[in-house]
Amino acid sequence: MTQACEIEHRLRVLRLLNDNPRRFFVGVRVVVTASIAADPTLQYAVLRKVRQFQDFKEEDDVDRDHSFGALEHQGETFWWRIDYYDPDMEHGSEDPTDTQKTVRVLTVMRPSEH
């Protein structure tokens, strides 16, 4: 397998490992910022849009692994991001394609909270 094929294969695996947990909230820890958590109706609506998200843009999803998205709700922009941690949650994951070595954390925020 060429290096380009290996990179594309790795991206396909990462997309799958990011898309499924984001859509179903299984295999990922979901965190919302305090301003979103303070309004349960807003939280529900924004999390629903995160689960339905499909509009990956190159300028947003720069790693092309479906780990970041920007969406609109009632005229306001919200960001979501998936980060990869080691099982102890102390460092970044050595290999985000290895589910035994990776804890995924999905954070939903307003851009001003970044």
pLDDT at 1: 66
Could you tell me if 104 and 28 are in contact, meaning their C-beta atoms sit under 8 angstroms apart? yes
pLDDT at 33: 98
pLDDT at 77: 98
Mean pLDDT for the stretch of residues 33-57: 97
Mean pLDDT for the stretch of residues 18-37: 97
pLDDT at 4: 87
Mean pLDDT for the stretch of residues 30-57: 97
Helix axes 3-24, 40-52, angle to 10 degrees: 150
Mean pLDDT for the stretch of residues 70-91: 98
Strand 29-32 to strand 76-85: parallel, antiparallel, or no bridges (unpaired)?
unpaired
The pLDDT mean for the chain works out to: 96
Mean pLDDT for the stretch of residues 9-27: 96
Mean pLDDT for the stretch of residues 65-88: 97
Q: Is the confidence at residue 19, as pLDDT, over 70?
A: yes
CA distances from 61 to 25, 64, 70, 104, 109 (A): 20, 5, 9, 17, 16
CA 100 to CA 49: how far, in whole Å?
28
